[in-house]
Amino acid sequence: MAKVIYPGTFDPVTNGHIDIVSRAIELFDEVIVTVARNPGKTSLFTIEERVEMLKESLKDYERVVVDSFDGLVVNHAKQVGAVGIIRGLRAISDFEYEFQMALMNRKLAGEITTILLMPHARYTYLNSTIVRNLAQFQGDVSEFVPPIVVEKLKLKFGNKEG
Ligand code: ADP
């Protein structure tokens, strides 16, 4: 039984993240989507809110689990018995960073393999920052994020149209 973890900030989860999960679950028996507890990074949503939105968005995927972790990704992967780390690759702009991380993680734990998956082209320009900025100014984010995230963003920023 091959398990992988998909770590990230998920502030908030977007349809791009969901696309990556749906590809990963076709390859592996279990995907653990795991929210990084990064105290150095300020976020819009709390860890608990991000976990809740992921759980709701992924509730139809039976073999997908959501959790959170502290510290090094490779340590969390080892702890849960994962064989690999899933990351998404949208464009060349992601490549340098993901490549560096993959090689560093390989150095730290040679037995954990990084697997980079490309989303559908329609998600290549999508990220959580753009979604947060759009929502802040009451832009319509409904085609970019799951319905639960649309709701939570409305609650965060208020929405004059209701
Ligand atoms: P991090 O801060 O770890 O990059 P993110 O939540 O921004 O956390 O992203 C987690 C992972 O998902 C990263 O590998 C990122 O490249 C990938 N990702 C983010 N947005 C998309 C998207 N629209 N399509 C595909 N992969 C994505």
Q: Residue 1: which residues within 8 A CB-CB, separation 6 or more?
A: 29, 30
Q: What is the mean pLDDT of residues 92-115?
A: 95
Q: Which CATH architecture has domain 3-125?
A: 3-Layer(aba) Sandwich (3.40)
- What is the whole-number distance in angstroms between the Cα of residue 79 and the centre of ligand 1? 22
Residue 84, ligand 1, Cβ within 6 A: no
Helix (H, G, I), strand (E, B) or coil at 138: coil
Q: What is the pLDDT of residues 52-72, one digit of tens each?
A: 999 999 999 999 999 999 999
Pocket test for ligand 1, best of 87, 93, 104 (most atoms within 8 A of CB): 87
Token pair recorded at residue 40 = 């150095």
Identify the active-site residue in 50, 76, 87, 90. 90
Helix axes 92-108, 73-80, angle to 10 degrees: 60
The rounded Cα 138 to chain-centroid distance in angstroms is 23
